[in-house]
Amino acid sequence: MKQAAFRSFLRLLPVVVFSWVFGSGPALADQYHVPQPPGQPMVLENPVEPSMRTLQPASPYGTLRQAQSSPGAKANGFYCSRNEECKSGYCADGRRCAPVDGTGKGANNDYCHHDNHCESKRCICPEGHGYAGFCKDWESWPEGANKVSTGFCADQVAYGESCNRNSDCIKGQCANGRRCAPWDGKGMQGDYCHHDNHCASGQCQCPGAKSWGFCANWENYRQADLTRERQRGNFSCP
């Protein structure tokens, strides 16, 4: 009889220990998540608040994260060492407050020192571009933001407008490093050209003589003069 009672006790022992450790309430795992329908992922009862999540813009200097700015935070273009110092929440490359990558507006001429800061991927640099999309000597610019001594975002431009790089153009190429034009052989009727090669027809309508396929003095036309000539049908693919 005693042996039977002892065996019954052994069978009940795990239940007694489990209840003593975890209590009589729900299992420990159930206390840390909201029950979900079968096949659904676990949802924590206290997820991270959306306002506390971080955005990670790409940077050749390493990963920097957007943060909530502190009172009295600095405007874009000012020196910084931490994201919290900037109104934008982004201390770009650990040096200057800047728009979070891809948010700088060309219409506002927002500050930038790298093409990635701009929605258009076009940062106009006072001394031109250096390595990997960065403006030359951006680290030594004076504090603040202006269109004379610091970089600024600009929208991409259409055929016939001034450019420095292919990425400045909405489409086509920055032909001869001066003006946006169709890729060679792709220009259709009415498209801007300053060389015969730009046009699918192999001919560019010029206001005067040509030299080696180029419209004479094409690089010296101001934008207003070029616009007038285009209205006359010149600098256009026939």
Query: Residue 147: its pLDDT value, please?
Result: 81
Query: Residue 28: its pLDDT value, please?
Result: 35
C-alpha distances out from residue 170 to 120, 121, 179, 193, Å: 9, 11, 12, 15
- Tell me what the pLDDT averaged over the chain comes to: 78
C-alpha distances out from residue 217 to 158, 179, 212, Å: 21, 13, 12
Q: How far apart are the first and last CA of the chain?
A: 112
Q: Name the percent of the chain lying above pLDDT 70.
A: 70
Q: Which amino acid is at 230?
A: R
Query: Residue 40: its pLDDT value, please?
Result: 39
Hey, is 214 helix, strand or coil? strand
Query: Residue 76: its pLDDT value, please?
Result: 95
Query: Residue 8: its pLDDT value, please?
Result: 53
Residues (pLDDT < 70) of the chain are 1-71
Query: Residue 103: its pLDDT value, please?
Result: 94
Query: Residue 16: its pLDDT value, please?
Result: 47
Query: Residue 54: its pLDDT value, please?
Result: 32
The pLDDT tens digits of the residues spanning 76-108 come to: 999 999 999 999 999 999 999 999 999 999 989
Query: Residue 132: its pLDDT value, please?
Result: 83
Number of Cα atoms under 13 Å in the Cβ half of residue 54: 13
- Strand-pair category, 123-124 with 96-97: unpaired
Q: Which residues pair with 173 in a beta bridge?
A: 181
Query: Residue 80: its pLDDT value, please?
Result: 95
Query: Residue 35: its pLDDT value, please?
Result: 35
Query: Residue 13: its pLDDT value, please?
Result: 55
